Amino acid sequence: MEVLGRHLLVELFSCAQEILDDLEKIEALMKEAARLSGATIVESVFHRFQPHGISGVVVIAESHLAIHTWPEHGYAAVDFFTCGADVDYWAAHDFLKKAFMAGDSEVQELLRGGERDAAGRLAPKSSS
C-alpha cells in the first residue's frame, strides 16, 4: 500500500502579532496558501476568540489546511494535510512564514497511512 497522505506540522515563532489577530487577513492568507500549493479549495471556516486568537480551517479536495494563533505570543500552529501527490505544501509553508513575518519555524513532516514494519515505521514500498 502506498502512503495515503502527507502531513506537515508547522510551528511559526516571532510572528507579527497584529496579523495573527486579524480574522479576515488570516483567512485570506490561508486561502492564498492553499491556492499557491495547487490545492482545490472546497470551503473555509474561521473563528476569532476573545480576547485574542484565531482558529480556522480551509477544507481542500485533497484534505485540509488548519491554523490556530496565539497573537500574544507571536505564535501560530499550522497543519497542512494532503492526500494529493500534486499539492506542494512546502509552497504554502514558505508563503505563510513570510506573510506572518515569522522569525523562525519548526516543521515535522509525517507520512500518513501505508504499511508499517513490526516497529511501527513506514515500510518500504514493495516492488510487486
* 68 annotated active-site: yes
* 7 annotated active-site: no
Residues 6+ apart with CB under 8 A from 45: 56, 57, 59
* 63 annotated active-site: yes
Residue of 7, 55, 64, 83 marked active site: 83
Write the DSSP assignment of 8-61 as a string of letters.
EEEEEES--HHHHT-HHHHHHHHHHHHHHHT--EEEEEEEE-SSS-EEEEEEET
Residue of 15, 37, 63, 93 marked active site: 63
Residue 48 CB: number of other CB atoms within 10 A?
Answer: 16
Question: What b-and-e string marks burial along 60-96, b requiring 16 or more CB atoms within 10 Å of the CB?
Answer: bebbbbbbbbbbeebbbebbbbbbbeebebebbbebb
Residue of 7, 55, 64, 68 marked active site: 68
Residues forming the active site: 63, 68, 83
